Homo-oligomer: A and B are copies of this chain.
């Protein structure tokens, strides 16, 4: 068999504000020879599905600007969380046919050395597991679930809720949680975590379909952030204040949320989508952090994975398989759909319209 095409998605152009079809491009120029003899410990992976997540917008920046995740280099393949299948292997740890989960380049075939023990130890220290985690999938979930509800977004909701929602201090009883972007892959899990802990859950979303989904998974009150007045809704539905504010969106709405925070409230800052395209509203009432004695925690899921990783994998996939925990996906077919899918994602229009759920790119 001669070398075959090995398409990848490259970072083509720095976006100014919202990404366009020029931001990411498919590059089909590279080739790979799948017949070539592998070296000892080498493996070839083939992508099964990859994730698109809002945080990736932050990686599309000039390389000299520091942030928590490295900038994507221009004209090189982007990467992110994905599931791949080991299709060739000279590693005893990764047998042909197994599926792995990890941070992967978005290149159809990936020829690389199996991770060393050192690499795994380093990864475990920061992310609680090996660099390429073998998925046993005893629950027979679709592979895409492992980049969504059973992957990074699910972990984000599960671990941060466990770590940062409990009442701190000696005053106060948890009653009301507010979750913005409630229909998203993180928000929808956060809603279900909050309900399980007995909270009255207020959520927000941007369309009737998304609002209905939030209700279907248990939210008590759901409003449309585009048309409803959150100030009135919080005053009516949380007269004693919001005890846990799960922030996905931030922006000017955060001022209203602070104004309605309960004393000793916890603010879990998971994202600040409103600023990902560069716009950023000024928040003028941060004195409320003192006045309300708030506990505000930002986090990256990897920080919490050493503490909660095995608990997560031993409970969440089962709960997803049984239907106890609900989730929603929007699937795109093929790497070439990524440029448009990423635009859709940041615009909240998954699937090109009023889509709903975790964006998943499947690669046949």
Contact = CB atoms under 8 A, between A and B. Distances in A.
B283 A286 contact: yes
Nearest to A261: B298
Contact of A303 (B67, B171, B306): B171
A306 B170 contact: yes
Contacts of A271: 290
Interface stretch (A90-98, A274-282, A336-344): A274-282
Interface in A99-156: 125-126
A289 interface: yes
A68 B290 CA distance: 9
A281 B280 contact: no
A292 interface: yes
Interface in A284-324: 284-300, 303, 306
B170 A292 contact: no
Contacts of A169: 303
Given A296-B296, A296-B297, A303 B272 contact: no
A251 to B, nearest CB: 9
A298 B282 CA distance: 19
Given A68-B263, A281-B282, A282-B281, A296 B289 contact: yes
A297 B284 CA distance: 17
Given A68-B293, A299-B293, A303-B170, A284 B282 contact: yes
Contacts of A292: 68, 298
Interface of A: 58, 67-68, 125-126, 169-171, 250, 254, 263-264, 267, 269-272, 275, 280-300, 303, 306
Contact of A272 (B171, B287, B295): B287
Given A283-B283, A294-B298, 12 more contacts: A68-B292, A250-B287, A269-B286, A269-B290, A272-B287, A280-B284, A280-B285, A281-B282, A283-B284, A288-B298, A290-B299, A295-B297
A287 to B, nearest CB: 4
Copies of this chain in the oligomer: 2
A157 to B, nearest CB: 14
B170 A286 contact: no
A290 B272 contact: yes
B300 A287 contact: no
A250 B283 CA distance: 12
B281 A284 contact: yes
A55 to B, nearest CB: 9
B286 A254 contact: yes
A293 B298 contact: yes
Contacts of A254: 286
A231 to B, nearest CB: 15
Contact of A291 (B67, B264, B296): B67
A282 B296 CA distance: 18
19 contacts: A68-B293, A125-B170, A126-B171, A250-B286, A269-B286, A280-B284, A282-B282, A283-B283, A283-B284, A289-B296, A289-B298, A290-B300, A293-B298, A293-B299, A293-B300, A293-B303, A295-B297, A295-B298, A296-B296
